[in-house]
């Protein structure tokens, strides 16, 4: 990859959610401790228990953050796209966490080493607000998913997932039934059945590896809104 020059890094960081509203000096400091890094499609960036603790800002591509059980079931926790970041918490957690990160496409990132990130945050405590806002919405989202499991049928969970993905990635969506099922917490078969029904209702169109949302309003979750994934 062509090396980022410092101005590029600053311009990119300035547009990321993590840096919203920060003073330019602070962003400059962050740019100074970040290195470009690139992951080919399919790369396992970090896996369960490996203690990977660097923070990544995704410049382009897509990282899937998931956790799996020993029986092989996987739940997708985050889809980290351009402008978002991965592993904000890990620099602070001594015991290795349970997440795995994989590059679903070729993905370019800015990497900040764990130690540098901690020092950076401590010297610029105003960062904390942004950091906690990101963590907080992820936490609320995780808990609302638990409520969804308790009271929603599969089709409604799928609807919420499709609505969220549509608002995040636009239309058409490039996800397979397996990927959707790992977000919604169900099986590929049930996902296909549910999407078949939504197709009959005229809300979506599906092709191989592609989902087009025709009626975004109808998919909206009125109660808790979009997921933070």
Partner DNA sequence: TCCCCAACATGACCGGGGTCATGGAAATCC
Partner DNA sequence: GGATTTCCATGACCCCGGTCATGTTGGGGA
User: With respect to DNA, which residue has the nearer C-beta, 167 or 206?
Assistant: 206
Number of residues lying near DNA (CB under 7 A): 19
68 binds DNA (CB under 7 A): no
161 binds DNA (CB under 7 A): no
Q: Which residues bind a copy of itself (CB under 8 A)?
A: 67-71, 73, 75, 77, 89, 92-93, 97-99, 118, 121-123, 125-126, 128-129, 132-133, 135-136, 138-140, 142-147, 149-151, 185-186, 223-224
Residues 6 or more apart in contact with residue 133 via CB below 8 angstroms: none
DSSP class per residue in 101-117: EEESS-EEEEEE-HHHH
* Strand, helix or coil for residue 4: coil
User: With respect to DNA, which residue has the nearer C-beta, 11 or 178?
Assistant: 178
User: For residue 151, which phi and psi values (nearest 5 degrees)?
Assistant: -130, -10
Residue 214 CB, nearest distance to a copy of itself (Å)?
27
> Of 37, 187, 216, 220, which one interacts with DNA (CB under 7 A)?
187
90 binds DNA (CB under 7 A): no
Residue 79 CA to residue 114 CA, distance in Å, equals 21
User: With respect to DNA, which residue has the nearer C-beta, 208 or 222?
Assistant: 208
Residue 177 CB, nearest distance to DNA (Å)?
3
Residue 21 CB, nearest distance to a copy of itself (Å)?
12
189 binds, among DNA, a copy of itself, none (CB under 5 to 8 A by kind): DNA
172 binds DNA (CB under 7 A): no
37 binds, among DNA, a copy of itself, none (CB under 5 to 8 A by kind): none
Whether the CB-CB separation of 142 and 208 falls below 8 Å is answered with no
Q: Is 71 exposed, middle or buried (0-12, 13-18, 19+ CB in 10 A)?
A: exposed
188 binds DNA (CB under 7 A): yes
Sheet architecture: strand order including 100-103 = 44-46, 100-103, 62-68, 74-81
* Strand, helix or coil for residue 134: helix
Residue 208 CB, nearest distance to DNA (Å)?
4
Number of helical (H) and strand (E) elements in the chain, helices listed first: 8, 10
């Amino acid at each position: 990859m062509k090396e980022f020059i410092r101005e590029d890094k600053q311009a990119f960081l300035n547009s990321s959610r993590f840096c919203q509203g920060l003073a330019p000096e602070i962003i400059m400091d962050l740019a100074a401790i970040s290195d470009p890094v690139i992951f080919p499609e399919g790369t396992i960036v970090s896996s369960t228990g490996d203690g990977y603790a660097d923070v990544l800002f995704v410049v382009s591509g897509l990282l899937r953050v998931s956790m799996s059980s020993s029986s092989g079931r996987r739940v997708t926790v985050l889809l980290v796209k351009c402008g978002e970041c991965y592993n904000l918490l890990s620099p602070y957690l001594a015991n290795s966490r349970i997440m795995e990160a994989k590059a679903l496409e070729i993905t370019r990132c800015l990497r900040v080493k764990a130690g540098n990130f901690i020092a950076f945050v401590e010297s610029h405590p105003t960062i904390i607000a942004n950091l906690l806002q990101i963590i907080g919405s992820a936490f609320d989202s995780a808990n609302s998913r638990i409520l969804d499991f308790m009271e929603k049928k599969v089709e409604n969970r799928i609807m919420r997932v499709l609505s969220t993905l549509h608002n995040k990635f636009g239309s058409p969506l490039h996800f397979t039934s397996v990927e959707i099922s790992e977000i919604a917490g169900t099986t590929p078969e049930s996902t296909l059945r549910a999407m078949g029904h939504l197709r009959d209702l005229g809300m979506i169109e599906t092709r191989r590896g592609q989902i087009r949302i025709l009626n975004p309003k109808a998919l909206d979750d009125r109660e808790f809104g979009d997921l933070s994934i």
